[in-house]
Structure 1
Amino acid sequence: MKITISGHAGSGKTSVSKELAKNIGFKVISVGSIFRDLAKEANMTLEEFSLFAEKNRKIDSLIDEQQVELSNKYRDCIIEGRLSGWMIEADIKIWLRSSIETRIRRIIERENRDYEDILKETISRERIEKERYKKFYNIDIDDLSIYDLVINSERWDVVGVSEIILKGLERLKNGKDRRVFKEGGNKP
């Protein structure tokens, strides 16, 4: 089974992926880690590397290839990244959402940096990425219609979000929520 977990920076993708993996024994593939490692290798901040990637399509292509290659390497895996839901054929696609304030607070806790710097960098990075995804892939990152499950990750803690996902996975496994709608038939 392949699961994608997507969301903006600070939405809880990595934390939820790790918690979920702990419960079901799946391998976690972190696209954000791939991006951060490439930025570090280039001796750039994430914002600088986002600007660089905006002008250099090879960066996105490399990241895309790596996430697809890694997801094909493992039978059961969780792929977490902003575009993973768009890039990976998955059994279930999940989007985590939360307010910018919550996301900034989480990034501050993770990186131990100044609020204003994180806020400015995150807003800039998200704008750059949104434009890049549209330009390179014709993807509107705000279009959540491809996701099977959208969870407000500030309403529940990591364990709570993971429990929601586990319940969804259980229902899928048991065939309780596989609905097939015929063309012109009833729609949910």
Structure 2
Amino acid sequence: MIITISGLAGSGTTTASKILSKKLDVPYLSAGDIFRQMAAERDMDVLEFSRFAEENENIDILLDKKQAEIAKQLAKQHDNVIVEGRLSAHFVEADLKVGFIAPIDDRTKRICKRENKPYEVVKEEIISRSNSEAKRYHEIHGIDINDMEIYDLIINTGNFNAERIADIILKVIEVISCQQ
């Protein structure tokens, strides 16, 4: 089973994906890690690279292509794979597509804790990055990042901790497996 997990910055996709990966003992692929690696290769932080990507649509196209290719390779080697990224559900053929939503205050607090930055700085970065990504995704792929119809399951992660979120996804996997 291939599972995609998508959501905006700070919605908990990475944390929940890692927990789920451990619980299922399956590989986990992060588009964010690929994006951060691409930024580091150009000596840029994520925000700088995000702005750079606005002017260079090949960055997003390359990222989406890399993610889909790596996911296919992992799926050939393993029965189950978790692919986490903003657009994973759009570019990876998956059996279960999960979308995370969360209030901006919750997302901001999570990133503040993770990156040890002041709340207002993080909130401004989230808004800037979200606007940049939404613009790029629409211009390059015609994707409205706020359209949730592609997802089989949508979880408001502001209401649950990461462990419970992984448990919810596990229950859905259990139901899907029973139906097959």
Instruction: Determine whether 1:100 maps to 2:143.
Output: no
2:134 is equivalent to residue 130 of structure 1 = yes
Q: Specify the alignment match of 1:185 in structure 2.
A: none
Q: Distance in 2 between matches of 1:64 and 1:55?
A: 16
Q: CA deviation at 1:105?
A: 0.5
* Structure 1 residues 32-181: aligned runs within 5 Å: 32-75=32-75, 76-175=80-179
Q: Relative to total residues, which structure has the larger helix share, 1 or 2? A: 2
Superposed CA RMSD in Å reads 1.0
Structure 2: how far apart are the matches of 1:154 and 1:94? Answer: 15
Residues 4-43 of structure 1 mapped to structure 2, 5 A cutoff: 4-43=4-43
Following superposition, the deviation at residue 45 of structure 1 comes to: 2.2
Task: Supply the AA of the counterpart residue of 1:20.
Answer: L
Q: Structure 2 unaligned segments of length 5 or more: list them.
A: none
Partners of 1:135 and 1:20 in 2: CA distance:
33
CA distance, structure 2, for counterparts of residue 69 and residue 84 of structure 1: 12
Q: For the residues of structure 1 that align with 2:40 and 2:109, how far apart are their CA atoms?
A: 23
Q: Secondary structure at the match of 2:154?
A: strand
Count of paired positions: 176
> How much has 1:16 moved relative to structure 2?
0.4
What is the letter of the counterpart of residue 138 of structure 1? G
Q: Which structure has the bigger radius of gyration?
A: 1
- Measured after TM superposition, the shift of residue 24 of structure 1 is 0.8
User: 1: distance between equivalents of 2:119 and 2:11?
Assistant: 16
Aligned counterparts of 2:41 and 2:168: Cα–Cα separation in 1: 37
Q: Name the CA distance, whole Å, in 2 between partners of 1:61 and 1:146.
A: 20
Partner of 1:186: none
Runs of 4+ in 1 over 3 A off after TM superposition: none
TM-superposed CA distance for 1:43, in Å, is 1.8
Q: Distance in 1 between matches of 2:39 and 2:112?
A: 19
